[in-house]
């Protein structure tokens, strides 16, 4: 073999320049650059991850690290057309803007031109179309290549240090600490999360087959009971179950009502297998936690999150949330951009504060610092105000060189309120939310809890949350909140519409608006007024409110209505100055009202009737409601599709009315026949009395109408092409058992001019069946 100082790339460069190896070095096994280019050019892989891994493997073998480069898309889509990967030393440092964060960072760029380019075809195949092998810098030595940033794969010998099967007492944190204490070399950037992911991949072999099958059986049982229960399982190449996602039938309805803002939390783990427990959580109209679904993940890779988000999206009928709040994680960031491209992605305040505890040290214990930090997140109304607050915090506590804060600053558009004024969060993105959610999950399992047991315990938690919502619904329907100003028409209107919790939030804003210290009103021309408002205890800060008196449209610089769905104190003050004594209907958000669910579905029956239903009836109601909701969502975009849907409903309603009328007629006829049979039996006993002898003959009685039908009461009609349709009439024949006079013919109100007694052969009258296309159950 060649000298250890000579990397393979250097040897290839020498050979390509015509320099022969000496003393038989490399034994003639070294490849020329042309051979390497021929080996990679035209190579085909089938995913972005495989493409990245291909170049990373090559870089690790040669001695350089890899960076992801530019990519182009097919016109009008988000589908990648070409993708570049560079040597990590591509470009120059002065190409980037100079900031305090990178000013003292070592210069690693040499403007290296080495790269590879993939082209993606319509079938998803990634083909190498360009390869530049030459580097302009020294390559890593064989003994140093494990420290390359893009070479994070663990060696087999070293992975045994954190092998979960090595000891029942082993833990990822213990293994990670042991690696550091034992001076075991791992790649830079190798973190405790990488350690968790490795343990998860190793530990899937110790998830008992019985436990996995038991969880699947639990999912199947819930599906049979609820009908619309959704679950999904991902398996690896060897057929082993790795990731699980599930949500029940009511969660779909909950998401339809309150799925505009979602927090995705990955901070909790199941104890037995250390799987990630990742719930999707929102807030209902009482400002309570509501669970839309939950997942068990083997690792925290981008591929796992992509699979999970796609399953979640499918389970919710393809409807994405308006905004989603997550932890600061690159894998989640990539997955959200791929699956939820139209969703506003922000970092959760609670996750940021939790991460600050391990990155800011003792300075985070200062209450003054925490107040300044929270002011940077929630306080600024403008980018300039944020920059001033951020600079003041860094200068006062000497944090200019803190890497974590520098990274946080670069992603400020995902967490600072000044950059997300129009992102609806419904109040879910608060520093207190995560603590409540995590405490809800903490303690429901121990080290011996199986996956099925954990799912059952989680089901109890969800039922408890729903029970709290039902109790609050009852309280809102039976009582009225105490108003701070009894005769205020604005507060009276708010108490009538809003739930108790939301009313208290609104009332606090209303009273705060009453405490404005000064308000300067000016005209902007026409019907547009401008208000500059300062508040008590807020210093000299000014809030600007614009009001159009002709349309009553109002906007405030704080954007509280856009973010929360409630009018702010500044807007309410402006209304008060204009003697507006009622809230315009457009500013009463339906999601915060007592009838939030009813306004979504408009059910004809009260929720109390569910207590009187059997399990089968509840399952039927859930299925049909969900199917009807999916049809509404499918038809709502176009006027033509809405008309088709409404015509179908009206036709189906008429068919049901006819069915029940005929059913009632047959029931009444059966009763009349029964009564007549009883009279016949009494008269057959003979002339037991004089009154009986004087009874008139039965031939003069009212003629009897008998309805004849075929064996099946309901039959779907068909069009000319043989397609089943709904709402077409099925006429029943009826004739008299005795001769009738013309004036005795009975006309059915729904039969127009067709007498029931006429022995005509009419076409089939169709009523909707449970197994018809309209009324059948379908998982959406």
Mean pLDDT by 10 residues, the chain (780 residues): 42 45 39 67 88 88 87 86 91 60 60 92 90 86 71 46 41 47 46 53 50 86 83 84 90 91 86 83 91 91 94 93 91 94 90 86 86 86 89 92 92 88 81 54 71 88 91 88 90 94 94 83 92 84 92 92 92 92 92 82 43 60 71 75 86 87 84 78 57 43 41 42 42 43 44 40 38 38
Q: Where are the domains of the chain?
A: 34-93+105-151, 209-348+428-468, 480-599, 620-660
Count of other CB atoms within 10 angstroms of residue 465:
17
- The H or E element that residue 84 is part of is strand 80-87
CA 15 to chain centroid, in Å, comes to: 56
* Dihedral angle of Cα 688, 691, 693, 698, to the nearest 10 degrees: -110
Alpha-carbon distances of 690 from 427, 682, 686, 698, rounded to whole Å: 87, 14, 11, 17
Q: What is the pLDDT of residue 756?
A: 39
Q: Which structure tokens are listed for 508?
A: 């606090």
Report the alpha-carbon distance of residue 584 to residue 554 in Å, rounded. 10
Count of other CB atoms within 10 angstroms of residue 643:
11
Q: Which structure tokens are listed for 559?
A: 């954007």
Q: What is the pLDDT of residue 627?
A: 74
CATH number of 209-348+428-468: 3.30.420
Q: Where are the beta strands (DSSP E) in 662-764?
A: 705-708, 733-736
> What is the per-residue DSSP string for 420-469?
-TT---TT-SSTTHHHHHHHHHTTS--TT--HHHHHHHHHHHHHHHHHHH
Report the alpha-carbon distance of residue 130 to residue 573 in Å, rounded. 64
- The H or E element that residue 247 is part of is strand 241-247
Alpha-carbon distances of 624 from 226, 364, 628, 631, 778, rounded to whole Å: 12, 53, 6, 11, 8
CB 443 within 8 A of CB 458: no
Report the alpha-carbon distance of residue 386 to residue 409 in Å, rounded. 11
Q: What angle do CA 714, 719, 725 make, to 5 degrees?
A: 45
- The H or E element that residue 201 is part of is helix 192-203
Count of other CB atoms within 10 angstroms of residue 494:
26
Report the alpha-carbon distance of residue 565 to residue 586 in Å, rounded. 11
Report the alpha-carbon distance of residue 317 to residue 252 in Å, rounded. 9
Alpha-carbon distances of 260 from 256, 291, 292, 342, 425, rounded to whole Å: 8, 13, 12, 12, 8
């Amino acid at each position: 073999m060649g000298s250890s100082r000579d990397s393979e790339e250097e040897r290839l460069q020498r050979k390509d320049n015509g320099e022969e190896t000496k003393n038989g070095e490399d034994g003639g096994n070294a490849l020329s650059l042309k051979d390497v280019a021929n080996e990679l050019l035209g190579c085909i892989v089938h995913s972005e991850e495989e493409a990245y891994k291909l170049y990373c493997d090559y870089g690790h073998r040669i001695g350089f690290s890899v960076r992801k480069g530019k990519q182009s898309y097919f016109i009008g889509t988000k589908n990648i057309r070409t993708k570049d990967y560079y040597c990590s030393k591509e470009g120059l440092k002065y190409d980037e803007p100079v900031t305090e964060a990178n000013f003292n960072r070592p210069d690693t760029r040499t403007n290296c031109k080495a790269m590879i380019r993939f082209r993606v075809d319509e079938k998803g195949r990634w083909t190498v179309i360009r390869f530049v092998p030459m580097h302009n810098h020294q390559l890593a030595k064989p003994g140093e290549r494990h420290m390359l940033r893009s070479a994070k794969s663990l060696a087999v010998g070293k992975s045994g240090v954190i092998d979960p099967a090595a000891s029942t007492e082993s833990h990822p944190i213990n293994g990670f600490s042991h690696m550091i204490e034992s001076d075991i070399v791992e790649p830079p950037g190798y973190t405790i999360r990488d350690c968790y992911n490795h343990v998860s991949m190793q530990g899937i072999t110790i998830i008992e087959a019985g436990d996995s099958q038991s969880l699947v059986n639990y999912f199947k049982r819930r599906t049979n009971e609820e009908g619309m229960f959704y679950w999904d399982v991902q398996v690896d190449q060897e057929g082993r179950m790795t990731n699980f996602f599930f949500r029940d039938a009511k969660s779909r309805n909950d998401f339809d009502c309150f799925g505009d803002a979602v927090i995705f939390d990955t901070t909790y783990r199941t104890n037995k297998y250390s799987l990630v427990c990742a719930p999707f959580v929102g807030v209902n109209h009482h400002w309570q936690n509501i669970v839309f679904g939950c997942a068990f993940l083997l690792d925290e890779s981008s591929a796992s999150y992509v699979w999970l988000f796609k399953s979640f999206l499918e389970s919710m009928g393809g409807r994405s949330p308006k905004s989603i709040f997550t932890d600061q994680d690159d894998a989640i960031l990539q997955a959200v951009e791929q699956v939820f491209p139209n969703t506003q992605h922000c970092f959760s305040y609670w996750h940021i504060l939790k991460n600050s505890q391990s990155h800011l040290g003792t300075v985070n214990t200062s209450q003054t610092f925490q107040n300044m930090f929270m002011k940077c997140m929630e306080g600024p109304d403008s980018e300039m105000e944020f920059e001033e607050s951020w600079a003041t915090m860094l200068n006062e506590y000497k944090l200019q060189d803190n890497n974590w804060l520098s990274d946080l600053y670069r992603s400020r558009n995902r967490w600072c309120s000044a950059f997300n004024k129009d992102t609806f969060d419904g109040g879910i993105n608060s520093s207190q939310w995560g603590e409540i959610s995590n405490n809800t999950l903490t303690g429901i399992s121990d080290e011996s809890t199986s996956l099925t047991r954990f799912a059952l315990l989680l089901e109890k938690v969800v039922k408890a949350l729903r029970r709290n919502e039902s109790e609050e619904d009852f309280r809102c329907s039976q009582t009225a909140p105490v108003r701070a100003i009894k005769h205020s028409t604005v507060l009276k209107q708010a108490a009538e519409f809003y739930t108790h919790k939301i009313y208290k939030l609104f009332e606090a804003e209303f009273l705060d608006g009453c405490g404005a210290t000064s308000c300067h009103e000016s005209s902007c021309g026409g019907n547009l007024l401008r208000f500059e408002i300062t508040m008590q205890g807020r210093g000299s800060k000014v809030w600007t409110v614009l009001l159009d008196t002709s349309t009553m449209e109002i906007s405030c610089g704080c954007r509280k209505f856009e973010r929360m769905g409630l009018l702010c104190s500044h807007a309410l003050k402006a209304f008060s100055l204009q003697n507006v004594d009622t809230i315009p209907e457009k500013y009463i958000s339906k999601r915060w009202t007592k009838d939030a669910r009813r306004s979504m579905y408009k059910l004809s029956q009260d929720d109390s009737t569910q207590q009187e239903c059997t399990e089968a009836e509840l399952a039927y109601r859930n299925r049909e409601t969900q199917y009807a909701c999916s049809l509404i969502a499918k038809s709502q975009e176009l006027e033509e599709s809405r008309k088709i849907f409404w015509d179908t409903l009206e036709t189906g309603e008429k068919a049901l009315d006819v069915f029940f009328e005929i059913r009632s007629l047959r029931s009444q006829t059966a009763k009349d026949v029964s009564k007549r049979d009883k009279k016949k039996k009494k008269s057959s006993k003979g002339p037991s009395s004089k009154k009986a002898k004087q009874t008139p003959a039965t031939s003069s009685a009212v003629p009897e109408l008998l309805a004849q039908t075929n064996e099946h009461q309901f039959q779907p009609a068909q069009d000319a092409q043989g397609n089943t349709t709904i709402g077409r009439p099925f006429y029943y024949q009826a004739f008299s058992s005795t001769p009738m006079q013309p004036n005795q013919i009975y006309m059915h109100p729904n039969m127009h001019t067709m007498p029931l007694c006429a022995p005509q052969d009419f076409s089939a009258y169709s009523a909707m069946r449970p197994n018809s296309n309209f009324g059948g159950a379908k998982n959406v």
